[in-house]
Amino acid sequence: MKSMMLACTFAAAAAGFARAEAVPGQDAPAFKSTCTKGTAVALADLKGKYVVLEWTNPGCPFVKKHYGPGNMQAVQKELTGQGVVWLTVNSAAPGKGGHVTAERWNAVAKEQGSAATGLLIDESGEIGRAYGAKTTPHLFVIGPDGKVLYAGAIDDKPSTDAADVAGAVNYVKQAVAEAKAGKPVSVPKTAPYGCGVKY
Amino acid sequence: MFKVPPGLALVLAASAAIPREARPAEAPIRASLVAAVTRFRPGEPFDGAIRLEAARGWHTYWTNPGEAGLATTVRWTLPEGFTAGPLRWPAPKRFVTGGIVSFGHDGATLLPVEIRPPADWPAGRAATLRARVDWLGCREECVPGGADVEIVLSAAEAAVASDEADAVARAVASVPRPDPRVRFHARAVEGGIAVRLEGAVAEAPAAFFPLAGGVLRAAPEPAWTRVGVGVHETVLALEAGVPAPSRMAGVLTFAGAETRRPAFLDFAVDGRTVPQDNPKGVRP
């Protein structure tokens, strides 16, 4: 049991990314990892699908803003319902606030009603650094061709106030909808807002 | 009902104090509203300030919080005819947690605000200034907080300074402003903005804090190269995939900032040298 959990929590970013950042219009940094339920995940195997990467930290008030009232779960549900692969990533280092074990995170996600396809523990921070993930939340949308479509904030209302969710433009939903309609993504990059990733 | 002598009542109240261990933990951030005056002259602006006190290890955020965090906000509820200007932010400090760089304030910080009372405010009538202050306080973890703060002032023929007057005046004097000694030259280069600063003779430039987020990389801190007397150059790195803007504004601090006020810079990124001699207003 313990060894399986360790396998789940081991995240290895694959070689081959020259940049230390995911940039809209460029190839998304490749990674291989194992989700908290033990399934292997490799970005290369997800070609042909839209992929959303969501950086998270359960203790962060900006994350709570979106999970408390069920906003993040609703977006996950809507997009995974359209065939989008949604991976939630936690890059908190061991000993840092928000670091979780696979078992604990699975329980939290169930309680929250997370509709993510998978949860990735990146305690070495390799995937986070490869993408330039800075905040929780920080979101990336990758197109079926493996190129980054969007990098940045969840929406246009930087705050910790859940009341701001209602009137906000959700950049992730917007990017996926525009790309699926064959249009260029109108807002491909924004400054993310949130707590710093606890590398 | 028997009457308790006032002195005894005080003793009783003191002995009934809550045991130390039952007191709530000290709040990481506390806010209050202060003013340079206890009495103002109607129609004559005076300085107020939001005071933020961060417990050891905690900080709040500047107007551009950097790579993470959230700027402190203030919403005013003022008596009729009063107006409050924008927050006049002091230069921030850099806070680095796990390689993520943010801009903010620790310890005791005053955010000055100019208050303008109406010219027809009656003498002797109290004016209660109220503000809602919301902040994000972080050390490693982050806790959002807020407070409703207020101060009661009254009008007089001549303004009367408060006990806070000196502290508020020092805070106002430390707010970055355009520096006529500084000339700035900026041009877009691959992945960044190359800048040349003229006019930093005695004090070398230190950090540059852009007013807008999401344009410049916060890390690493730009390293300045001295290329002549009072002339320094650096390249401000742009965020990946972000084109150079045509204009930039921000705050430049100097090494040994106690001796030189931080400069507010507003410049075109076009290769022309811009004297920072605009005497109008203090920004941000």
B248 within domain boundaries:
yes
Residue B25 has pLDDT above 70, yes or no: no
Counted across chains A and B, CB pairs separated by less than 8 A come out at 68
Nearest neighbour of A59 by CB, restricted to B97, B141, B239: B141
pLDDT > 70 fraction of chain B, expressed in percent and rounded: 87
The C-alpha atoms of residue B37 and residue A188 are separated, in whole angstroms, by: 49
- pLDDT (tens digit per residue) in B103-142: 999 999 999 999 999 999 998 899 999 999 999 999 988 9
State whether A190 and B242 contact (CB < 8 Å): no
Interface test with A, best of B58, B60, B136, B242 (most A CBs within 10 A): B136
- pLDDT (tens digit per residue) in A63-119: 999 999 999 999 999 999 999 999 999 999 999 999 999 999 999 999 999 999 999
* Residue numbers in B near A23 (CB within 8 A): 240-241
Confidence of residue B257 (pLDDT cuts 50, 70, 90): low
Q: What is the pLDDT of residue A19?
A: 44
**Tokens 């076009």, residue?**
B270
Structural domains in chain A, sorted by start: 2-196 (3.40.30.10)
Q: B192 and B166, same structural domain?
A: no
Q: B139 and B223, same structural domain?
A: no
* Residue numbers in A near B69 (CB within 8 A): 195-196
Q: What is the pLDDT of residue B277?
A: 57
Number of domains composing chain B: 2
- pLDDT (tens digit per residue) in B76-113: 999 999 999 999 999 999 999 888 999 999 999 999 99
Q: B89 and B202, same structural domain?
A: no
Q: B126 and B63, same structural domain?
A: yes
Residue A16 has pLDDT above 60, yes or no: no
Q: What is the mean pLDDT of residues B139-150?
A: 94
B282 within domain boundaries:
no
Task: Assess contact for A147 and A25: CB atoms under 8 A.
Answer: yes
Q: B239 and B163, same structural domain?
A: no
Domain ends where: B145, B174, B203? B174
The C-alpha atoms of residue A124 and residue A92 are separated, in whole angstroms, by: 8
State whether B100 and A199 contact (CB < 8 Å): yes
More confident residue, B15 or B55: B55
Q: How far is A81 from chain B (nearest CA, A)?
A: 31
| Structural domain harbouring B67 | 26-174
Establish if A68 touches chain B: CB-CB under 8 angstroms.
Answer: no
Task: Assess contact for A86 and A54: CB atoms under 8 A.
Answer: yes
Q: B126 and B215, same structural domain?
A: no
Q: Decide: residue B16, CB within 10 A, 0-12 exposed, 13-18 middle, 19+ buried.
A: exposed
What is the domain-level CATH number for residue B212?
2.60.40
ipTM of the complex: 0.84
Interface test with A, best of B61, B70, B96, B217 (most A CBs within 10 A): B70
Residue B283 has pLDDT above 70, yes or no: no
Establish if A79 touches chain B: CB-CB under 8 angstroms.
Answer: no
Domain ends where: B157, B174, B191? B174
Q: Decide: residue A40, CB within 10 A, 0-12 exposed, 13-18 middle, 19+ buried.
A: exposed
